[in-house]
Chain A
Amino acid sequence: MRTRAEQESAFLNIPYDHRYESLYLAFIAGLCAFGLRPRATIEIPGARRRLDRIIDLIRGCRYSFHDLSRVQLDRNSPATPRFNMPFELGLAVDWSLGAGSGHEWFVFESRPHRLSKSLSDLNGTDPYIHEGTVSGVLRGLMNALTRTSHRPELVDLTAIYRDLQTAARKIRTERGGGLFEARAFQDLAVLAQQSAQRQISSLR
Chain B
Amino acid sequence: MRKRVVITTPFPTAEDLAETYGISKTRLRRLKAMAEEILANRSKESRNSPTTGVKRKRKASSGA
Contact = CB atoms under 8 A, between A and B. Distances in A.
B42 to A, nearest CB: 6
A9 B20 contact: yes
A135 interface: no
Given A37-B17, A190-B31, A203-B11, A143 B4 contact: yes
B18 to A, nearest CB: 7
Contacts of B36: 194
A170 B20 CA distance: 23
Interface stretch (A12-20, A75-83, A92-100, A144-152): A144-152
B5 interface: yes
Nearest to A202: B11
Q: How large is the interface on A (under 10, 10 to 19, 20 to 34, 35 or more residues)?
A: 35 or more
B16 A37 contact: yes
| Residue with the highest number of chain A CB atoms closer than 10 Å, among B2, B19, B36 | B2
B28 A190 contact: yes
B6 A186 contact: no
B44 to A, nearest CB: 13
B9 A35 contact: yes
Contacts of B21: 43, 186, 189-190
A4 interface: yes
Contacts of B16: 5, 8, 37
Given A163-B39, A193-B17, A104 B12 contact: no
Contact of A194 (B5, B7, B39): B39
Nearest to A189: B17
B14 A35 contact: no
A34 interface: yes
Interface string A1-45: 000110111000000000000000000000000111101000100
27 contacts: A5-B16, A5-B19, A8-B9, A35-B9, A39-B20, A43-B21, A63-B5, A143-B4, A146-B4, A146-B5, A146-B6, A147-B8, A148-B8, A162-B42, A166-B41, A166-B42, A186-B17, A186-B21, A189-B21, A190-B35, A191-B31, A191-B34, A193-B17, A194-B36, A195-B38, A195-B39, A203-B11
